[in-house]
Chain A
Amino acid sequence: MLVLSFATAFAQQKQPVEMADVLRSSGKIYVVVTTIVIVFVGLAIYLFSIDRRLKKIEKEN
């Protein structure tokens, strides 16, 4: 009984870990990546524009 339980425990360890390989191979992960990149690029442009406006105000002072 004990040996049997050990055997199942080891068998469980050997099972491959499930990763999102299917999601990646189906190609749609790129949609998510692109979305995140668009969001970040938007934020970066926003930060740059704040920076530029600030520069103008600094020059006036």
Chain B
Amino acid sequence: MKFIYQTWWKVLAVVMVIYTLIAGLLLGVPTMPILHETIRNTYFHVPMWMAMFSVFTISVVYSIKYLQTGKEEYDLIAVESANTGLFFFAIGLLTGMLWAKYTWGDFWSNDPKQNSAAIAFLLYCAYSVLRNSIDEEQKRAKISAIYNIFAFPIMIVLIMVLPRMTDSLHPGNGGNPAFGKLDMDNRMRIVLYPAFIAWSFIGIWIASIRYRIRLIEYKKNQIN
């Protein structure tokens, strides 16, 4: 846990994001019909989802750890990671909708990818609601940890698997390879992959700050 108190990786993440902002807007991209310059959205929209996956993964890992050990801190990490994940989820949905308006013609066209992402969003909202509806601390931690463990694989299937099995307009779905040769080249990869890593660490950073605040609140409540 010493990792979250260190500074070097936060600086690294910020520098990498700045690099992707500059390179993502200035470097060359493949020329494609319909997409035009919106192909650059890949650098900023997809990393939101990667950040979300990262913090949700941390959340579920600490939910499992909580169930194993019963340590209150682990529960706090799980809940604050899930909260941060929900934030990136919302940003991902909104940026996706904006892009869809100008490429698919509508903010919401009931595309399988959009619909299942919306369901997954509600799934995690339900986590938050479930958690806040239980007053007793240990019960709350245990039930929400178990719910989290179930919600995580369902979210993965909803976002990553199901849209690929039907016809979705979203790039990387309906038989299209995700970052295949068709819609990406190496010029894009040198921006996209650092963006994935950088935004994931930004997500972890925000989650860690929320956790530290939550920990102080928790300790204060204990003393009183």
Contact = CB atoms under 8 A, between A and B. Distances in A.
Nearest to A30: B26
A37 B10 contact: no
A32 B25 contact: yes
A58 to B, nearest CB: 7
A47 B18 contact: no
Contact of A37 (B7, B21, B209): B21
Contacts of B212: 54, 58
A24 to B, nearest CB: 8
B21 A36 contact: yes
11 contacts: A17-B31, A19-B36, A30-B26, A32-B25, A33-B22, A36-B21, A37-B22, A40-B21, A44-B14, A47-B10, A51-B209
B124 to A, nearest CB: 23
A37 B18 contact: yes
Interface of B: 5, 7, 10, 14, 17-18, 21-22, 25-26, 29, 31-33, 36-37, 205-206, 209, 212-213, 216, 219
Contacts of A18: 36
B209 A33 contact: no
Contacts of A16: 31
Contacts of A55: 5
A29 B33 contact: no
A36 B14 contact: no
Interface residues of A, number: 24
Nearest to B30: A17
A7 interface: no
A48 B8 CA distance: 12
B25 A57 contact: no
Contact of B209 (A36, A40, A54, A61): A54
B26 A58 contact: no
A50 interface: yes
A19 B37 contact: yes
A54 to B, nearest CB: 5
A56 B57 CA distance: 29
Contacts of A40: 14, 17-18, 21
B216 A61 contact: yes
Given A33-B22, A36-B21, A61-B216, A51 B10 contact: yes
Given A17-B31, A50-B209, A61 B219 contact: yes
B7 to A, nearest CB: 8
B31 A58 contact: no
Contacts of A44: 14, 17
